[in-house]
Amino acid sequence: MHIVIVDDDKLVSSSLKMILEAETGLEVVGIGSNGQEAIELYRALKPDILLMDIRMDGMSGLEAGAKIIEEDQQAKILFLTTFSDNEYIVKAFQIGAKGYILKQNYESLIPSLKAVYLGQRVFGEEIVSKIPTLHGDSLRKSDLTAFNLSEKEIQIITQVANGLSNKEIAETLYLSEGTVRNYISVILEKLQLRDRTQLAIFYYKHT
Amino acid sequence: MHIVIVDDDKLVSSSLKMILEAETGLEVVGIGSNGQEAIELYRALKPDILLMDIRMDGMSGLEAGAKIIEEDQQAKILFLTTFSDNEYIVKAFQIGAKGYILKQNYESLIPSLKAVYLGQRVFGEEIVSKIPTLHGDSLRKSDLTAFNLSEKEIQIITQVANGLSNKEIAETLYLSEGTVRNYISVILEKLQLRDRTQLAIFYYKHT
DNA sequence: TTCTTGAAATGACAAATGTCATGATTTTGC
DNA sequence: GCAAAATCATGACATTTGTCATTTCAAGAA
């Protein structure tokens, strides 16, 4: 399996090369350090998999990836990044990347590479929550604790995000309308938002 | 890595067992043949991964999976199936399964198992096309024409979905605030919605 | 017990929102 | 040119929304 690695941190790319080549059957055939090089290397070497940092100086991995996939629909690109970012995850999905892995999670790199090689798509845990229509009914614990939101507040946010008016929320949760207003007021303050519409938007962006 | 296999075709489950145990580090600790057994086996054995047919007589793999994940949020379930089905794929995703693999694709089974074990999610190529559109920056043409929305109306909707107030939208688009209100009123009527919050929600659900 | 804390409610208020009727202006088709 | 459209604007109005100060009440902690 031929692999090209592209990362603007040389240290990362050479460590990756070592890790990968410890495995028989894997061969790192090229190393690059920016988006432009990624495109050139891909064209020249046609690797089975392109392992690329999503964030790089100059042309980002995403841009490069989009271009490469445009040229070769079959291209198998696995993105690497050090942190999970909403925007990136969704975009990576959109351009048709085969996967997305956090660098921290280096043990899962080889199995993921193989799975991708064999036609699977591999994504970290985070991806699922970022996909709109598959939302569950409530915000993830991780998101809510980060903002000190109580259980009840979450319930209210969820109702707002379902498009209910204060009166309707009051009926649903057996509270008075005024109480619901108070809750929302507090929530908006906590989240630094202005009105319920922004709150609903927040919900959909963090779910 | 401890694995439990559940498939109503004994032939399949025993072949799988053989394939898996050829790999060092993998141990099939239990085999079941229906959803009910899957639940019992999971409770009793707490395997690292549950490899389960999605379609089975009696309780389906999907139902069993939902129940198991309900009991143990950490449960790692990888579904197996012989054909790709829209319903199933999306449902599997929704209940929180870690993956979905076609039986035909047996070479990718082991790498996929490992990737899942290490915290990834693995899905076949098909999945992507089945996932409702991920949101980008504007409504798709298809969506807007379906509702007879004009160019200007789309602009307004977009601003609402960005969380702007009427006054802000007016400034952005060089209109009076009243005009913006009128536009929104018409849009809400067209889309059968009640207020701007529902409009923002609509936007994020159709984008 | 008394004190404190948190959840829920109230009422008053200003601001934002949505609806409606109407009118001015511009664009477009014929 | 003229009529029929969009397009943009107003003003009046009822409702909803968000803020704030204050109160009630119950459960714990002292």
Q: By mean pLDDT, which of A4-18, A169-183, B135-149, B188-202 is the weakest?
A: B135-149
Q: What is the pLDDT of residue A3?
A: 94
Q: A123–B118: do the CB atoms touch at under 8 Å? A: no
Nucleotides of strand D under 7 angstroms from a protein beta carbon: 6-12, 16-21
Q: B204–A124: do the CB atoms touch at under 8 Å? A: no
CA distance B196 to chain A (A): 7
Q: Is the CB of B206 under 7 A from strand C?
A: no
Q: List b or e across A16-55, with b for residues whose CB sees 16 or more CB atoms inside 10 angstroms.
A: bbeebeeeeebebebbbbbbbbbbebbeeeebbbbbbbbb
Using pLDDT thresholds of 50, 70 and 90, give the confidence band for residue B77: very high
Q: B119–A120: do the CB atoms touch at under 8 Å? A: no
Per-residue pLDDT tens for B57-67? 778 888 899 88
Per-residue pLDDT tens for B4-53? 999 887 878 888 898 888 888 899 999 998 889 999 999 999 999 999 98
Q: What is the pLDDT of residue B127?
A: 52
Q: A163–B94: do the CB atoms touch at under 8 Å? A: no
Partner-chain residue, chosen from A105, A111, A121, that has the shortest CB–CB distance to B128: A121
Cα–Cα distances (Å) from A79 to A12, A52, A71, A125, in that order, read: 13, 5, 18, 14
DSSP per residue, A78-114:
EEEESS--HHHHHHHHHHT-SEEEETT-GGGHHHHHH
Which residues have C-beta within 8 Å of that of residue B110, sequence separation ≥ 6?
A: B19, B20, B23, B26
Interface of A with B in 103-142 (CB under 8 A): 105, 107-108, 110-115, 117-125, 127-128, 130-134, 136
**A27 and A1 Cβ atoms separated by less than 8 Å:** yes
Does the pTM exceed 0.85? no
Instruction: State the average pLDDT over residues B94-99.
Output: 81
User: What are the chain B neighbours of A118 within 8 Å (beta carbons)?
Assistant: 105, 107-108, 111-112
Q: What is the pLDDT of residue B49?
A: 93
* Residue B104 dihedral angles phi and psi, to the nearest 5°: -55, -35
Q: What is the pLDDT of residue B138?
A: 42
Q: Record the tokens describing residue B186, joined without a space.
A: 């018409």
C-alpha B176/C-alpha B171 separation (Å) is 8
Q: Record the tokens describing residue B178, joined without a space.
A: 């009243």
Q: Where are any strands of DSSP class E within chain A?
A: 2-6, 27-32, 49-53, 77-81, 99-102, 120-124
CA angle A156, A161, A166 (to 5 degrees): 50
Q: State yes or no: pLDDT of B157 exceeds 50.
A: yes
Q: What is the pLDDT of residue B28?
A: 93
Q: List b or e across A77-98, with b for residues whose CB sees 16 or more CB atoms inside 10 angstroms.
A: bbbbbeeeeeebbbbbbebbbb
Using pLDDT thresholds of 50, 70 and 90, give the confidence band for residue B89: low
3-class secondary-structure state, position A53: strand
Nearest-Cα residue of chain B relative to residue A114: B111
**A139 and A158 Cβ atoms separated by less than 8 Å:** yes
Q: Say whether residue A151 is in contact with chain B using an 8 A CB cutoff.
A: no
Q: By mean pLDDT, which of A111-125, B64-78, B122-136 is the weakest?
A: B122-136
Q: What is the pLDDT of residue B141?
A: 42
Q: How many CA atoms lie within 13 A of A139 on its CB side?
A: 29
Cα–Cα distances (Å) from A10 to A15, A33, A124, in that order, read: 8, 7, 24
Q: What is the pLDDT of residue B83?
A: 52
3-class secondary-structure state, position A71: helix
Strand order in the sheet with A77-81: A27-32, A2-6, A49-53, A77-81, A99-102, A120-124, B120-124, B99-102, B77-81, B49-53, B2-6, B27-32
Q: Kindly give the parts of chain A with pLDDT less than 70.
A: 82-90, 103-105, 124-148, 207
Distance B138 CA to C20 C1' (A): 30
Q: What is the pLDDT of residue B125?
A: 59
